[in-house]
Structure 1
Amino acid sequence: MEKEKVFARNYRELLVWQDAIKIAKAVYQLTGKFPKQEMYALADQLRRAAVSVPSNIAEGQARKSPGDFRRFLHISLGSLAEVDTQLVLAQEFGYLSKEDVDPMDEQIQNLRKKLYALINTLPPTTNR
């Protein structure tokens, strides 16, 4: 991973945030294919999880504390796992095809690696 400025002036400069935005946009496009009865169920949950990923990256970076940033990056990883799981469910339920899900899986795996790499650049936190 290209070395990022951990405390960039703006979270929008972070590649992980940019990648997370792309995933969220793709999720919104894909969930548009869901049946109407899923718009307030799986589609809504999937959209919320997808939006949570870049939102937590932004919030963590904005706090300017390595410990807070690390914690929010871990929350982003959890939300990313939710997106991954819910895409699998959408495919299992027949709402999305393998062709829809496979590129998303690749993007998710790449972002997961970048998030872990970014976490590893942060100075260790001390126990209080």
Structure 2
Amino acid sequence: MQRHNFKKLKIWKEGMFLTRETYKMVRNFPDFEKFNLVSQLIRCAVSIPSNIAEGTSKRTDKHFTQYLENSLGSAFEWETQLIIAYSEEHISEEKFKAFELKIQEIQKMISGFIDGLEKS
């Protein structure tokens, strides 16, 4: 397996974008959410590109795939927390829909990358 440069991977770049946008989004959340939903959203967002980056250091596609699956799991967890943030009225419907499209796009990209590794 040839190692990937994580900084060149579109899935990593998209994960980094989501992380930056998550930090912006939670700035306006109520203080009581600081150690709850805010912390969870940030940790999941950070986990997405972090697992991709860490996975690129692995020697086999099988091991890299495990990290991509962790990243994908964090993306689904982040989406659930987004739904909670919307249901608790911490974000507008417009923001919710935009973020929902973005996370689903990232989920598809990570899944497709995994499929590509498994075929090679």
1:11, 1:62 within 8 Å by CA — same for their partners in 2?
Answer: no
1:113 aligns with 2:87: no
- State the match for 2:39 in structure 1: 44
Report the AA paired with residue 81 of structure 2: Q
Residue segments in structure 1 that go unaligned for 5+ positions in a row: 1-5
Determine the C-alpha separation between the residues in 2 that align with 1:64 and 1:20: 22
SS in structure 2 opposite 1:122? helix
Cα offset, 1:121, TM superposition? 1.2
The 3 A distance-change label for structure 1 pair 91 and 123 is closer
Residues 1:122 and 2:120 are matched in the alignment: no
Alignment of 1:24-103 (within 5 A): 24-103=19-98
Shift of 1:123: 3.8
Relative to the length of structure 1, the TM-score reads 0.87
- TM-score scaled to structure 2, two decimals? 0.93
Aligned length: 120
For residues 80-123 of structure 1, the C-alpha deviation after alignment (integer angstroms, 9 at most, x for no partner) is: 01110001000101111111111111111111111111111114
| Partner residue, 1:3 | none
Aligned residues of 1:8 and 1:14 also touching (Cα < 8 A): no
Which structure features the higher share of helix residues? 2
Partner-residue secondary structure (3-state), 1:62: coil
Partner of residue 9, structure 2:
14
RMSD value, Cα: 1.7
Query: Alignment identity in percent?
Result: 32
The runs of at least 4 aligned residues of structure 1 exceeding 4 Å deviation read 6-9
CA distance in 1, matches of 2:118, 2:83: 35
